[in-house]
Amino acid sequence: MAIVAIGAALASLALPDGDSRTLAREADRLAALLESARAQSRAAGVPVRWRPTAGGFAWDGLPPGATPLPTGWLDARTRVLGNAALLLGPDPIIDAQALVLERGSHAGQPPQALRVATDGLRPFSAGPVTP
């Protein structure tokens, strides 16, 4: 019985936290959406702006006839810290930009955060928040 208990404890430590997986999925999804909007901006030659909203996010300036992009989070506890908007083009090189995604806490757990950023040349990507 002790062996089973030790095995179960080790297995639970090896499994990634569900909250961190959810936040990572949200950050990766947002990075892909930002790159899609950036490509549409470049192709049409018009600036596209991303901005957070109370229940998700919005795209301003997508060209007429462009593929519509989602405007909501997969998880209702996801939010953006701050109110910064991102300008996604139409120039091939944009300013370095970043935002911080946070997944609200529950059951006494502290909130988790990830940074979604680009240096202006490379694609947007998700990573840890650095001080």
| 76: exposed, middle or buried (Cβ count in 10 Å: 0-12, 13-18, 19+) | exposed
pLDDT of residue 57: 97
**What percent of the chain clears pLDDT 70, i.e. is strictly above it?**
83
φ, ψ of residue 45 to 5 degrees: the values are: 75, 25
| Residue 14 in this model has a pLDDT that exceeds 50 | no
The whole-angstrom separation of Cα 48 and Cα 66 is 12
pLDDT of residue 7: 54
| Residue 72 in this model has a pLDDT that exceeds 60 | yes
Q: Furthest-apart CA pair in the chain: how many Å? A: 66
Report if pTM > 0.85: no
Higher pLDDT pick, 76 / 108: 76
pLDDT of residue 105: 67
